[in-house]
């Protein structure tokens, strides 16, 4: 799957330093969590693994998850930006 942009998505210039890799299954459930993801999102791996990707995203991007997953199934992958929220509900900047 693609990287999660922890900034303002397309509204801001993307910087690879603002991205963290996540492993997801075909349903969009987190199956792998990194220390960088832990640091940026505030969830430890035990809290994040098993969580739906949509629950980690801002409302607008959470609504895009079904389309992104379908695209992954049809074409074998996806690359793009999604805006995320931290454990405390604040938008990642």
The pLDDT, as a whole number, for residue 9 is: 42
Strand duo 23-24 + 19-20: pairing: unpaired
In a domain, 14, yes or no: yes
The pLDDT, as a whole number, for residue 80 is: 81
Cite the beta strand spans of the chain per DSSP E.
4-5, 19-20, 23-24, 30-32
Question: pTM of whole model > 0.85?
Answer: no
Greater model confidence, 79 or 35: 35
Q: Say which CATH number the domain at 41 has.
A: 3.30.450.20
Residue-wise pLDDT for 20-75, tens only, equals 888 889 899 999 999 989 998 999 999 999 999 999 999 999 999 999 999 988 99
In a domain, 69, yes or no: yes
In a domain, 93, yes or no: no
In a domain, 80, yes or no: no
In a domain, 68, yes or no: yes
In a domain, 53, yes or no: yes
Q: How many alpha carbons fall within 13 Å on the CB side of residue 11?
A: 6
Range of the domain at 52: 4-75
In a domain, 36, yes or no: yes
In a domain, 89, yes or no: no
Q: How far apart are the first and last CA of the chain?
A: 21
The pLDDT, as a whole number, for residue 8 is: 43
The structural domain count of the chain equals: 1
Contact present, 92 and 41 (Cβ < 8 Å): yes
3-state secondary structure of 27: coil
């Amino acid at each position: 799957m693609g990287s999660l942009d922890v900034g303002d998505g397309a509204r801001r210039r993307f910087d690879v330093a603002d991205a963290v890799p996540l492993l997801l299954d075909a349903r969009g459930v987190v199956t792998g969590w990194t220390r960088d993801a832990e640091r940026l999102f505030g969830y430890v791996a035990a809290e994040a693994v098993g969580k739906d990707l949509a629950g980690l995203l801002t409302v607008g991007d959470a609504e895009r998850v079904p389309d992104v997953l379908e695209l992954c199934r049809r074409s074998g992958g996806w690359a793009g930006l999604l805006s995320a929220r931290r454990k405390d509900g604040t938008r990642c900047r």
